[in-house]
Structure 1
Amino acid sequence: MKEAMIKCDNVSFKYRVNEGEEERYAVNGVSFQVEKGEFLVVLGHNGSGKSTIAKHMNALLLPTDGTVIVDKLDTSDPNNLWDIRAKAGMVFQNPDNQLVATIVEEDVAFGPENLGVPPEEIRKRVDESLKKVGMYEYKRHAPHLLSGGQKQRIAIAGILAMKPECIIFDEPTAMLDPSGRKEVLNNIKEINKKYGITIVLITHYMDEAAQADRVIVMDNGKIILEGKPRDVFSNVRKMKEIGLDVPQVTELCYELKNSGIDIDTNILNVDEMVNAICQLR
């Protein structure tokens, strides 16, 4: 069994909307682990608890019950906080909220400067990080003049410059257009495959989830499905019951199967769909 980067054990988180009201569960008894080097997607509609569990993974939130361990460090121990944040970086939905400087390279340098990294090492890290996200030629640009996808890649570079072992992405493409979404997702996949950084991607986009090593589906604060993308998405009825779609080709195969056509429903892309249709007798 591979070593765990993040381990959530029976995690619950309660909150109050208004003073005097009864507490509600945002996350309720969730257990799973993220292996080192894995690309995990946590999928769910708004209010499912997926972003709440994400914020537990680098101690932005602490569980009401249960434990969260990040690379053997318990998030509930305040002495572990800075070590956890150094190991597990976080990229949020709106890149404008993460950009702090007026020049791209200064923005990327902000994180390592706060970690006390020596200046010559910061210079090296900034250049390396910008190259990893394909934004090196923009290092002297003003971030506010960049596109949404480019801004998000700068935000990712800022996290990479801190040399984390894991990056948690909380719906990083939600505010981007289709081309911006595609470039950021390609970047995320490359960071995982080429550099071995553990990725946790929180999303409600099926096409993003289909590219993960493993998918966890949440609803009402609980995990309801877990497994490889093609196994999870073949549960078309269950996914629709909780208000989530599946990839279009998967749904098409599901409908064909229901119409009496003997076709595989574990299909995620157009090429697989074409092959399955060609094999029909």
Structure 2
Amino acid sequence: MNDTMIACDNVTYKYESNSDKQIKFALNGVTLNIKKGEFVVVLGRNGSGKSTIAKHMNALVIPSEGKVYVDGLDTSQEENVWNIRNKAGMVFQNPDNQIVATIVEEDVAFGPENLGIEPKEIRKRIEDCLKRVNMYEYRSHAPHLLSGGQKQRVAIAGVLAMRPECIILDEPTAMLDPSGRKDVIRTIKELNNKYNMTIILITHYMEEAVEADKIVIIDKGKKVKEGTPKEIFSNVELMKDIGLDVPQVTELAYELKKNGICINTEILTINEMVNALCQLR
């Protein structure tokens, strides 16, 4: 059995710049392997190519060179696109762009209806998916009256109702306040932990990346580094060189170490920092 959900094999994506008609590279030779059930975060600053790689994973964009496979299906083959989009659902930055109905449950039903699912099964999926994202009590509400975080959870429920094996989230918290962001991240983690769903989260918020199984750093269209959160964030100088932050406690550990205090620099959470400081006594 193939346990690879998404494979990017030497993916390059070129486009012509509008201003000077030069050929630019949004992606340049990216190779990446994401296993089924993995929670992967793709980090990069604005313009790094992280959103472009997300669009390749859903066959919204086809590589100029190289290949992308979603559960073994080649995204460049037109006959695969329908199956690929059923396997890999996409959630975008602005939930308003994904909400199409005037009632929450009708919005969640939209995808399955288009797949030709029978009404009884759709009703079951609406209930199940709204419960999964803790929005069931809002099923009769109008989406435009919800908060940003609630809207984004409805958008996630709409994708879940199509029963994908994998969800790609392209900066889903960028337009949300801190509490909305927490809600959405909690929902994503639950889908991964409880239902073993493959999650690919594109973000530039470091604290969202701490819980991932694997982090991939993209910069200037290339994969710069890949590893566990501890491996990635303990490399403070590299992160700063490419214009990314690290969690505050990781930076504190790095500064303490630099000033001669013998402390583990692979610290990601406040609890880990408290334990490390207690051991210094």
- Which category of TM-score, normalised to the shorter sequence, fits these structures? over 0.9
Structure 2 residue aligned with 1:156 = 156
Structure 2 residue aligned with 1:252 = 252
Structure 1 residue 202 corresponds to structure 2 residue 210 = no
Q: CA deviation at 1:18?
A: 1.3
Residues 20/220 of structure 1: CA separation in 2 closer, same or farther (3 Å cut)? closer
Structure 2 residue aligned with 1:15 = 15
Structure 1 residue aligned with 2:42 = 42
DSSP 3-state at the match of 1:40: strand
DSSP 3-state at the match of 1:279: helix
Structure 2 residue aligned with 1:236 = 236
Aligned AA (1:198): T
Structure 2 CA distance for aligned equivalents of residues 46 and 165 of structure 1? 28
Structure 2 CA distance for aligned equivalents of residues 60 and 43 of structure 1? 20
Structure 1 CA distance for aligned equivalents of residues 246 and 201 of structure 2? 17
Q: CA deviation at 1:27?
A: 0.5
CA offsets, 1:217-269, max 9 Å, x none?
Answer: 11100111110001100000000001100000000000011111111100000
Structure 1 CA distance for aligned equivalents of residues 190 and 252 of structure 2? 30
Aligned AA (1:92): F
DSSP 3-state at the match of 2:69: strand
DSSP 3-state at the match of 1:262: coil
Structure 1 residue aligned with 2:167 = 167
Aligned AA (2:51): S
Q: CA deviation at 1:17?
A: 2.3
**Normalising by structure 2, what TM-score?**
0.98
Alignment RMSD, CA only? 1.1
Indicate if the aligned counterparts of 1:2 and 1:35 stay in contact, CA closer than 8 A: no
Aligned AA (2:180): G
Structure 1 CA distance for aligned equivalents of residues 22 and 172 of structure 2? 32
Gaps of 5+ in 2: none
Structure 2 CA distance for aligned equivalents of residues 64 and 125 of structure 1? 37
Q: CA deviation at 1:11?
A: 0.2
Structure 1 residue 145 corresponds to structure 2 residue 145 = yes
Residues 2/39 of structure 1: CA separation in 2 closer, same or farther (3 Å cut)? farther
Residues 2/75 of structure 1: CA separation in 2 closer, same or farther (3 Å cut)? closer
Equivalent pairs counted in the alignment come to: 281
DSSP 3-state at the match of 2:275: helix
Identical residues among aligned pairs (%): 68
Structure 1 residue 123 corresponds to structure 2 residue 134 = no
Aligned AA (1:155): A
Structure 1 CA distance for aligned equivalents of residues 121 and 77 of structure 2? 30
Structure 1 residue 267 corresponds to structure 2 residue 259 = no
Structure 2 residue aligned with 1:66 = 66
Q: Provide runs of 4+ in structure 1 moved above 2 Å.
A: none
Q: CA deviation at 1:20?
A: 6.7
DSSP 3-state at the match of 2:280: coil
DSSP 3-state at the match of 1:100: coil
Structure 1 CA distance for aligned equivalents of residues 142 and 164 of structure 2? 25
Q: CA deviation at 1:22?
A: 1.4
Structure 2 CA distance for aligned equivalents of residues 99 and 116 of structure 1? 19
Aligned AA (2:47): G
CA offsets, 1:192-227, max 9 Å, x none?
Answer: 110111000000000001110100011100111110
Aligned AA (1:67): K
CA offsets, 1:114-151, max 9 Å, x none?
Answer: 11111111111011100100001111100000000000
Structure 1 residue aligned with 2:100 = 100
CA offsets, 1:67-123, max 9 Å, x none?
Answer: 000001000000000000000000000000000000000000000011111111111
Indicate if the aligned counterparts of 1:143 and 1:151 stay in contact, CA closer than 8 A: yes
Structure 1 CA distance for aligned equivalents of residues 174 and 18 of structure 2? 28
Structure 2 CA distance for aligned equivalents of residues 259 and 152 of structure 1? 43
Structure 2 CA distance for aligned equivalents of residues 37 and 265 of structure 1? 28
Gaps of 5+ in 1: none
